Chains A and B, each alone.
Chain A
Amino acid sequence: MRNAFSETLYECAKANADIFIVVADISPAGSIAKFQTEYPDRFINVGVAEQVMIGIAAGLALKGCKPFAYTIATFSLYRAFEMVRDDLGFQNLPVTVVGMGAGVIYSGLGGTHQAQEDIAIAGAIPNMQILAPCDPLECADATRYCATQTKGPVYLRIGKAGEPNFTENALEPVIFGKLRYLRRGTDVCILTYGVIMKLAVQVADQLQAMGKSVSLVSCHTVKPLDRAGIVQALSNHKHVIVIEEHVPQGGLAPQTKQIAWDTGAKCALQTFTLRDEFIHNYGSHDDLLAAHGLSFDHVMKTVT
C-alpha cells in the first residue's frame, strides 16, 4: 500500500509544485526515491523528530503549500499529537498526516509500534478527516484526494507493503465521504475499512457459499462518516457485521451501534474489533488479530 501511496504522490507532485513531503527518517519505498531525486527541495527529512515534522508541515501549509507528513502511525499521530491538534486541526490546514503501518501490522515490533487506537484519537480532533483505504488501488485514490483537497487536515491510515487488491471489480468508485459497495446483496452487509478488508472478503465469500446474499462495503472515509449510508445499510439488510482493526471505542463499530440506536434499526448487528488491551503477543499480523478474536474461524462461528 505504501508503494501505491508513493507512486501516486510522485505523480501528483509532478503535476503540482506545491506538493511537499516531510518524513521522519522513515520513507515510503518505491517512487519516493524519484520524488526525492527530481524534487529535492520538496522532500524534507527531519530525522527522528516528529514534532518538528508536523510543525514544518504546518508552516508550509500556512504559506500555501500542500504538505504530506509521513512516518509510522504511532509516531506521526501520537508522538506529535499536540502539533497535529493545534497546528493542523485548530488552524484547519490542508496537511495530510500519513499513519503508515497502522493497526497492528507491525506485529513483531510490539505495542510501541502498534496504532490500534488511532481512529479514536484522530477522529476526536475537530476538522480532522480520516481516510483508511482497504487496498493499494483505494490508497491511490485516497492519496489523490489528499493531494487536491483544501478543506483541512487528513489522517491517512495506510498499511505497509504487499497487500493484495480487493477493489478491481468494485461496483462503485471511491467518493470521499460515501460508503463504497464492493458487492451488493440483501441478507448480510459487512462494513469495514483498511487492510482488514482481507478478513471481510473471506467472511463474505464463505457466507455467499452458504447461500447468503452479501454486501461488502469499504468505509474508506471514516470521518466524516457517511451516516446516511450507514442508515441505509442498516435498513436494507437483515444482518450487519462490522469488522474493524481498532479498539472497541471511538471507531466504526461504536458509531454504527450509535446510529442503529438513534434510528431504531431492526437488523441484527454484530461488531468485531480488537480488544481494549495492549497486545503482548508476537507472530504474524494474522496471529495478532486472531489473538483478539479477529480471525476467520471466530467471526464465522459468531455470525452463523
Chain B
Amino acid sequence: MDNRRNYIDISVTRRRCNKFRRRILDVSLQVQALHIGSAYSCVEIVDCIYFELMQQGNGDVSPDTFILSKGHGCLIQYVILEELGLLTRSDLDLYCTSSGRLGVHPDYGNPGIAASTGALGHGLSMSVGMAYAEKATGRNGTVYCVLSDGEVQEGSTWEATMMASSLGVSNLVAFMDNNDLQSLGRTSVTHPSFYPVPDKYIAFGWDAVEVDGHDSQAIYSAVVNRRGDRPLMVVCKTIKGKGVSFMENVPMWHYRSPNRDEYLKALQELDQVQS
C-alpha cells in the first residue's frame, strides 16, 4: 500500500544502530540508573521508524508521530533526537542531572517528545486518539507506537487494542518489543497464554506479523507491505541488551549502569561489530 522502495540500505542502518548503541553506552556511564537493556532491544525498531518510515516534514516537524509507550527505553529515542538535531549534545550529557531536562522517561514538552510515557499501558490509548485525530482532521499522518511485551499485560492496552480496530485507525502502526524478559522473569514462562502473539491482534481485527526485531529490513518490509485498511502490530522478536554479550538476556541490565571495566568491554564489542 505504500509508495516506497522495497529495500533499505542495510549497511547504513547497521552503522547507525551501532553508533546509537555506543552513544547510549557513553550516556550510561554518567548516571546510576537507566534501562540500557530495554533501549538496546529496540534500537533497530526505533531507528527504522525515524529514519526509514516517518515522513520528512517542514523543518523539524514530521507529519507523522512517534510514541514510545515503553518509555523506559527512551535512551534510544534521545540519541536519535540528538542525531536529528532536536536535542543537543549538552541535553544528553546532562541526562538525569539537576541541570538537565531529560529523565529516565520521556517528558512531553521536551523537543521531539510527543507524549509523556513511563507508566506502562498508556501509550497505545493515546496513540489511538492521536491516529483518530489525524484522520478526523484530514491530516492523515501515521502514528508509530512502540510497546514492550510486558506492558501488554496491562488491561488498558487491550482496551486500546479493541478500540483501534473498532475505530478503524488504519494509520496506526504499533511495534511490540518482544524481548521476552521482564523484571521477574521470562514472559513466555509467566504468561504462556500470551503466545502466539500475532494471533491475538488478528483476532481483534488488526493486521499482525512477527519479525526478527533486530533485522531492520524485516521491520521495514512488514510496515510497507501491510494491508493498510486496519491498524498493524509488528511483533518484533528481540533480545534484551542486544549488542553487548554480557548484557544480552540478563535481567540485571534492565536497571544497571556499567562500571568502567564493563563500559570498556562493551565498547570493545561494539567497536568490533563496527569494524
Binding site for B on A (CB under 8 A): 20, 41-42, 44, 46-47, 49, 51-52, 54-65, 67, 82-83, 86-87, 90-91
Contact = CB atoms under 8 A, between A and B. Distances in A.
Given A55-B156, A56-B163, A62 B114 contact: yes
Contacts of B136: 20, 41-42, 65
Interface in B127-146: 127-134, 136-137
Interface stretch (B16-24, B36-44, B115-123): B115-123
Nearest to B109: A91
A63 B137 CA distance: 9
A60 B132 contact: yes
Nearest to B161: A52
Nearest to B123: A55
A65 B118 CA distance: 23
B126 interface: yes
A52 B163 CA distance: 8
A42 B108 CA distance: 25
Contacts of A91: 108, 115-116
A74 to B, nearest CB: 17
B196 interface: no
A87 to B, nearest CB: 6
B125 A54 contact: yes
Contacts of A62: 108, 114-115, 126, 129-130, 133
B94 interface: no
Contact of B159 (A49, A59, A67, A86): A49
Given A60-B133, A63-B133, A55 B126 contact: yes
A254 to B, nearest CB: 29
Nearest to B167: A44
Nearest to A90: B116
Contacts of B131: 59
Nearest to B115: A62
Nearest to A91: B108
Given A59-B126, A62-B133, A91-B108, 19 more contacts: A42-B136, A47-B162, A49-B163, A51-B159, A52-B160, A55-B122, A55-B124, A55-B125, A55-B159, A56-B125, A56-B132, A57-B129, A60-B129, A62-B130, A63-B134, A63-B137, A83-B122, A83-B156, A87-B115
A79 to B, nearest CB: 10
Point out which of B118, B124, B132, B162 has the most chain A C-beta atoms below 10 A from its C-beta: B132
24 contacts: A20-B136, A49-B162, A49-B163, A51-B156, A52-B125, A52-B160, A52-B163, A55-B129, A55-B156, A56-B125, A58-B125, A59-B132, A60-B129, A60-B133, A62-B133, A63-B130, A63-B134, A63-B137, A65-B136, A67-B129, A82-B122, A87-B116, A87-B126, A90-B116
Given A51-B156, A65-B133, A59 B127 contact: yes
Interface centre among A51, A67, A91 (most CB of B within 10 A): A51
Contacts of A59: 115, 125-133
A64 B141 CA distance: 14
Interface string B153-194: 001100110110001000000000000000000000000000
B156 A52 contact: yes
Nearest to B114: A62
A56 B128 contact: yes
Interface in B85-134: 108, 114-116, 118-119, 121-122, 124-134
A95 B262 CA distance: 47
A274 to B, nearest CB: 31
Interface-central residue, A41, A55, A61, by most chain B CB under 10 Å = A55
Given A44-B167, A52-B163, A57-B129, A86 B134 contact: no
Contacts of B163: 46, 49, 52, 56
A47 B158 CA distance: 13
Contacts of B162: 47, 49, 52
Interface string B29-62: 0000000000000000000000000000000000
Nearest to A65: B133
A61 B119 CA distance: 19
B156 A86 contact: no
A41 B137 CA distance: 10
A86 B155 CA distance: 17
B126 A46 contact: no
Contacts of A64: 133, 137
